[in-house]
Chains A and B, each alone.
Chain A
Amino acid sequence: MCLALPGKLLHITDAENGLALADCGGVRREVDISCLLLEHPNTPLEGRWVLFHVGFALALIDEVEAKQTLALIAELDGQPANSTHLELPGTDK
């Protein structure tokens, strides 16, 4: 139930009431960004990637941190699992 998905904030439609239009996985819908506006008063939000849950903006996604997480994993010194093929069953093709 606490599922949240990344969406792109397209434009703020009603700043006073904290409403915006966002593209969430190809679906455009009105979202509540009231807390995001209060939390980041001086940050341009349009065009940013945001984590949305039940039509509500939880948090900005930090693109630098997103890349760093992957970079950290790439630097791991573990030997890859002894296989050449790995298919995750839940991955959508």
Chain B
Amino acid sequence: MKFVDEYRDSEVIKQLLGAIKHQLDDIPPRCRPWQIMEVCGGHTRAIYRFGLDKLLPKEIEFIHGPGCPVCVLPIQVIDQAFALALKPDVILCSYGDVMRVPGSSGSLIQAREQGADVRIVYSPRDALAVALNNPERQVVFLAIGFETTIPATAATLLAADKRQVSNFHLLVHHVCIEPPLLALLEEKDTAIDAFIAPGHVSTITGALPYLSVAATYHKPVVISGFEPADILQSTLMLLRQLQRGKAEVENQYTRAVQVFGNRAAQTTIDRVFELAETTEWRGLGKLRHSGYQLVKAYQRFDATRLISTPDQEETVDHTPCHCADVLCGKLTPDECPLFGRACKPTHPAGALMVSEEGACAAHWQYRQQEVEL
């Protein structure tokens, strides 16, 4: 595929690996590896899929960050979606990634087994089409995701509003990339040296969310594309910054990311959403100004209004795993006692084993893959 294959070319990869080894020779040795956090689950999956962790010298270690929206989804949202799905007049539409995430009463797949009308959609536009085709039913779209996905939800809501669709509702759990990064950097035992920032989030946001990571916490950041050559080039750029003692935000993904992002998409987000006071994150707890809620003018689209007695009690996440520690880079996936035993992709105990982009699922899928050099 154009703009994909050329960034997987083995000659290009060899060139980059050589340059990275060269660069490491110029950095004084130290007793622990350079820890680079790839924030986005898409990067995590690419690193495992292409065996980049095995190709790179042992002086470089990737720490898998909190940028997988399925993985940071709190159990309360699954429980709300489950409750909505079981209402007889509701059709619940969701991205496929969320279907198997375990909630207190079960996953959305299990809701479907109990007779709920749960449908997998590719796009929020598809959910709107379901609403238009089923005027007698209430259609709820489970709107999750980072800044990459938020403009699609916002544009769809504006389209629904324009067409005066009254049976289309959003269960919103849209989140921002900056607050979890700052929360991780505030933790005492954080050992992350540098960040590979999510390229597709950045097509919308530009470089803004990472400025304080570099300026306040003195960590180098490179916005990266998702192909092997992109990730290796970004690694090289980070090593150069580390060698020179710099902490800047650089853009490797120049073919798609503008420094100021997509301003029309930012405006579309702001027409529909505003920052909520606090938002719950799996593994990170409540973070201030880290997620979105509908602005007053569009609150009639809020799906929680369909639940007649909203559950005021705080749901406690009893998931018996160490997702939080893996999310924060404190444990590697196989250091979790449940990994590969009580928690596998076929019966996930935690969210990180559900999504293909979760660190545990990617680690499990590619754990025995050999990379030939």
Contact = CB atoms under 8 A, between A and B. Distances in A.
Interface string B327-358: 00000000000000000000000000001010
Nearest to A6: B3
B200 A55 contact: no
B160 to A, nearest CB: 12
Nearest to B263: A39
B152 A80 contact: no
Interface string A37-58: 1110000000001010111101
A78 B69 contact: no
Interface in B241-261: 252, 254-258
Given A51-B256, A61-B3, A78-B16, A2 B155 contact: no
A62 B51 contact: no
Contact of B255 (A30, A38, A65, A90): A65
Contacts, number: 197
Interface in B355-373: 355, 357, 366, 369-373
B50 A91 contact: yes
A63 to B, nearest CB: 8
B8 interface: yes
Given A66-B255, A73-B233, A78-B23, A86 B373 contact: yes
Contact of A2 (B22, B67, B252): B67
Interface residues of A, number: 50
User: Which residue, A18, A49, A55, A74, has most C-beta atoms of chain B within 10 A?
Assistant: A55
A35 B41 contact: no
B4 interface: yes
Contacts of A38: 264, 267-268
Contacts of B15: 73-74, 76, 78, 80
Contacts of B70: 1
B209 to A, nearest CB: 14
B233 A51 contact: no
B200 A88 contact: no
Contacts of B122: 54-55
A4 B203 CA distance: 10
Interface stretch (B112-120, B132-140, B142-150, B317-325): B142-150
B159 interface: yes
B204 to A, nearest CB: 7
Contacts of A37: 264
Given A1-B70, A1-B149, A85 B372 contact: yes
**Top 5 closest A-B pairs, CB basis?**
A78-B19, A55-B123, A38-B264, A78-B18, A56-B152
9 contacts: A2-B40, A2-B200, A3-B200, A4-B203, A34-B155, A38-B264, A72-B233, A76-B19, A81-B14
Interface of A: 1-6, 17-18, 25, 30, 32, 34-39, 49, 51, 53-56, 58-59, 61-63, 65-66, 68-70, 72-74, 76-81, 83, 85-91
Given A53-B200, A55-B152, A76-B19, 20 more contacts: A32-B125, A35-B155, A35-B264, A55-B124, A58-B200, A58-B256, A59-B203, A69-B229, A69-B252, A69-B255, A74-B15, A78-B15, A78-B17, A78-B19, A80-B15, A81-B17, A86-B13, A86-B14, A88-B8, A89-B371
